């Protein structure tokens, strides 16, 4: 009964997330942009696969991934061995990232670099920086200091990087903080932070997602020194024809075995780690052990359905629609349309509503839930709009990233530390699965049709969406500081109240 109720709840959340963008796209196709009917039918079928798949995946993540992270985090804490904490964090961070659905989608569209190489590079980047994040928790290192140093390194490397690889590098950081990775690494952090007994230990458990987002950026930058991207024209595979209904059925049936195998390989390391810890130290009772196994099955089935729907039906229409609008008289409609879709993508995210409600409680009403919702919605809409401006004009991405991150880091000096942690962590909440699965393909299709550089102009959309909440959430923090100075009873030191993003995700 518990699983049944949880499945209904998560499926409803999945419907709320995927249905709005499906309706918007359908209306655009029916009223403004002609799309082949076979591709439209495949898109609608893909949306159904994604809704069911994301629902099952979310149930599995709740029953297994967050529980595994919590149990292993507690086991590492009990050992009190620094080398074990760091080694386990690296291995688990790498393993869990390989199964991240957003990363799987991104990697499938990158030319010149094979999927396994890119996936392993990004996974190792997350693993190394998860270990670094554990060191920060254990030794109470300032998050602001680490972010300043690490982003200084990132932008220093950016000036020596192949221009076409720069947007991909930043996108790699955005897609790793998804529904698989976030609850897992936050559960690890909460466990490790319990080693410290000071009052700021819980506050220092913030920033895990932020640091794990920097790791893939640096890792892919270093990888780009070895692999040179191919011409952007080769970045997209030919669109499926779907001339008749049997073509659609055949496309889905052919895709299932591929993703069954790939997801089995992706989840195998996590399953192996869990079994190892179970027999060595955890020794869970039969009921919780069985529940985690059932959760892994839910996760596996959900990932297979989700990725099949994305690759066969959902993403191809996004690519086609972007290309058709780009060459039509509605060309500049791409900007407001992407803003509208971004607005509804973030509005439909259940994590956002929990985040905004808890920030209102955290600030004793000084920052209202509605104000936070508006700030995040505007952030994602603005990120999508700026990405489309880049597609249409070809403006280099550094013209947006340098002032954006400079503003975000500058704000960290004027807001409570917890707001900085929430802001940098919330970028992962904002860049949800639909950003990589639809909006990125929408931009890639438009870029290719316009004769632009897909690698240089279309990639970078995910990181633009992930960057904007860093500014808006800290902006809400600045509003809180101003209001708290005017109203003496409102006090906030950032150390007693904690917003657990791993519960949100």
The percent of residues above 70 in pLDDT, for the chain, comes to 85
**Domain boundaries in the chain?**
2-233+247-504
The percent of residues above 90 in pLDDT, for the chain, comes to 35
Q: Give the residue from 249, 269, 315, 358 showing the smallest Cα distance to 47.
A: 315
| DSSP states of 164-190 | THHHHHHHHHHHTSSTTHHHHHHHHHH
- Helices and strands in the chain, H and E counts: 22, 0
The pLDDT value recorded for residue 442 is 93
Per residue in 169-217, pLDDT tens? 999 998 887 777 777 777 777 666 666 555 565 555 567 888 888 999 9
The pLDDT value recorded for residue 502 is 37
pLDDT level of residue 105 (50, 70, 90 thresholds): confident
The pLDDT value recorded for residue 309 is 92
CA distances from 391 to 250, 328, 362, 379, 441 (A): 33, 15, 39, 19, 12
The pLDDT value recorded for residue 232 is 42
Contacts for 139 with CB less than 8 Å, ≥ 6 apart:
none
Contacts for 442 with CB less than 8 Å, ≥ 6 apart:
318, 319, 321, 322, 338
What pTM was computed for the model?
0.85
Mean pLDDT of 140-148: 88
The pLDDT value recorded for residue 462 is 92
Distance CA 283, CA 286 (A): 9
Mean pLDDT of 321-337: 90
Q: Give the residue from 146, 15, 4 showing the smallest Cα distance to 434.
A: 15
Distance CA 386, CA 381 (A): 9
């Amino acid at each position: 009964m518990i699983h049944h109720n949880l499945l209904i709840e998560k499926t409803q959340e999945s419907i709320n997330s995927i249905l709005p963008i499906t309706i918007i796209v359908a209306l655009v196709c029916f009223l403004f942009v002609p799309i082949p009917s076979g591709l439209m039918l495949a898109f609608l079928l893909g949306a159904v696969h994604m809704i069911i798949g994301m629902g099952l995946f979310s149930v599995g993540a709740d029953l297994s991934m967050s529980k595994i992270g919590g149990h292993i985090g507690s086991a590492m804490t009990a050992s009190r061995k620094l080398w074990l904490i760091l080694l386990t964090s690296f291995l688990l961070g790498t393993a869990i990232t390989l199964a991240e659905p957003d990363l799987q989608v991104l990697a499938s569209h990158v030319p010149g670099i094979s999927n396994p190489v890119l996936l392993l590079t990004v996974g190792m980047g997350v693993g190394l920086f998860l270990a670094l994040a554990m060191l920060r928790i254990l030794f109470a290192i300032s998050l602001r200091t680490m972010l300043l140093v690490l982003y200084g390194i990132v932008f220093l490397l950016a000036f020596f990087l192949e221009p076409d690889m720069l947007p991909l590098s930043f996108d790699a950081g955005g897609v790793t903080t998804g529904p698989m990775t976030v609850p897992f690494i936050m559960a690890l952090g909460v466990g490790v932070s319990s080693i410290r007994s000071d009052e700021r230990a819980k506050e220092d458990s913030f920033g895990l997602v932020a640091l794990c987002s920097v790791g893939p950026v640096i890792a892919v930058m270093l990888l780009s020194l070895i692999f040179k991207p191919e011409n952007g024209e080769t970045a997209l595979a030919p669109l499926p024809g779907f001339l008749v209904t049997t073509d659609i059925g055949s496309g889905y049936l052919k895709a299932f075995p591929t993703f069954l195998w790939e997801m089995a390989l992706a989840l195998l390391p996590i399953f192996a780690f869990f079994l190892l810890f179970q027999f060595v130290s955890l020794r869970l009772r039969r009921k919780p052990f069985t529940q985690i196994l059932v959760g892994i099955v839910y996760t596996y089935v959900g990932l297979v359905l989700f990725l099949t729907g994305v690759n066969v039906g959902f993403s191809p229409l996004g690519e086609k629609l972007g290309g058709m609008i780009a060459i039509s008289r509605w060309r500049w409609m791409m900007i407001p349309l992407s803003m509208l879709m971004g607005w509804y993508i973030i509005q439909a995210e259940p994590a956002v509503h929990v985040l905004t409600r808890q920030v209102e409680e955290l600030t004793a009403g000084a920052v209202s839930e509605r104000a936070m919702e508006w700030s995040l919605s505007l952030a994602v809409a603005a990120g999508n709009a700026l990405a489309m401006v880049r597609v249409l004009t070809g403006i280099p991405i550094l013209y947006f990233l340098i002032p954006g991150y400079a503003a975000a880091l500058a704000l960290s000096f004027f807001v409570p530390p917890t707001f900085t942690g929430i802001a940098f962590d919330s970028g992962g909440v904002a860049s949800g699965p639909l950003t990589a699965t639809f909006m990125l393909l929408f931009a890639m299709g438009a870029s290719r049709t316009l004769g632009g550089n897909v690698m240089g102009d279309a990639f970078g959309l995910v990181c633009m969406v992930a960057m904007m909440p860093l500014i808006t959430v800290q902006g809400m923090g600045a509003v809180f500081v101003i209001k708290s100075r005017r109203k003496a009873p409102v006090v906030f030191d950032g150390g007693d109240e904690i917003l657990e993003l791993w519960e949100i995700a």
